[in-house]
């Protein structure tokens, strides 16, 4: 049976870069954020978001994800409301994806809030990606055209590294890409040895 490896890390830790390394080495990767974007285009989900958050998060009848993010990353109760709408649909999307990849020994499920959402319970193993806080902040500022305050708001909504690490099987420190890639190769070797022993 295909094993699901959870891959997580705080915003700006570079977990998508690490996911891409795994992908380059032949491991299929599901990115939960991309899944969320897909399901948030469905009429059913759009309608639920409109009912819960009103017209303020829409522009010309199109969902404005930036406006929605501004609301939910300042207010945990609102974030919980959004997650309650989106997470079940992402779970369904992932399960359909997994069926299409069930001939692989391993797949990666990459999600920023793997622990917070409880999805780690459905993973066989968990890898956490870490990087120093200032490195993470500068990466997000470059990538997202946002403010430092907004990045810190998002960080506050996520578990800290210590908490994530305590629930993980492997940790990849991603402040040096070359070393991080070596860690990915090392983890795959360990997984392949385990697979051959079982």
Ordered by where they begin, the domains of the chain are 3-193 (3.40.50.300)
In tens, the pLDDT along 72-103 reads: 988 999 999 999 999 999 999 999 999 999 99
- Supply 173's token pair: 């420190």
Annotated binding site for ATP: 12-17
Residue pointed to by tokens 């993980």: 168
Half-sphere exposure of 113 (CA within 13 A, CB side): 16
The CA distance from 190 to 62, in Å, is: 46
CA proximity to 82, closest of 106, 124, 109, 117: 117
The CA distance from 22 to 107, in Å, is: 9
pLDDT average, residue stretch 115-127: 95
pLDDT at residue 11, rounded to an integer: 94
Show the beta-strand stretches assigned E in the chain: 3-9, 29-31, 58-59, 62-63, 106-110, 125-130, 170-173
pLDDT at residue 196, rounded to an integer: 65
Angle between helices 76-100 and 65-72 (to 10 degrees): 120
Given a cut of 90, whether residue 18 has pLDDT beyond it is yes
Given a cut of 90, whether residue 193 has pLDDT beyond it is no
pTM summary value: 0.91
Annotated binding site: 12-17
């Amino acid at each position: 049976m295909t094993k699901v490896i959870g891959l997580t890390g705080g915003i700006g830790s570079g977990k998508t870069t690490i996911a891409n390394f795994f992908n380059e080495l032949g491991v299929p990767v599901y990115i939960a954020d991309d899944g969320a974007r897909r399901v948030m285009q469905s009429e059913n989900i759009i309608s639920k978001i409109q009912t819960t958050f009103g017209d303020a998060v829409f522009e010309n009848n199109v969902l404005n994800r930036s406006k929605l993010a501004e609301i939910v990353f300042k207010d945990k109760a609102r974030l919980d409301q959004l997650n309650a709408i989106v997470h079940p649909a992402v779970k369904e999307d992932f399960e359909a994806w997994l069926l299409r990849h069930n001939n692989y020994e391993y797949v990666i499920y990459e999600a920023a809030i793997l622990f917070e959402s409880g999805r780690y319970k459905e993973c066989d193993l968990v890898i956490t990606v870490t990087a120093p806080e200032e490195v993470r902040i500068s990466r997000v500022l470059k990538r997202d055209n946002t403010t430092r305050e907004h990045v810190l708001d998002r960080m506050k909504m996520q578990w800290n590294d210590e908490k994530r690490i305590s629930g993980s099987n492997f940790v990849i420190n991603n402040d040096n890409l070359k070393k991080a890639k070596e860690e990915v190769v090392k983890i795959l070797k360990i997984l392949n040895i385990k697979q051959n022993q079982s």
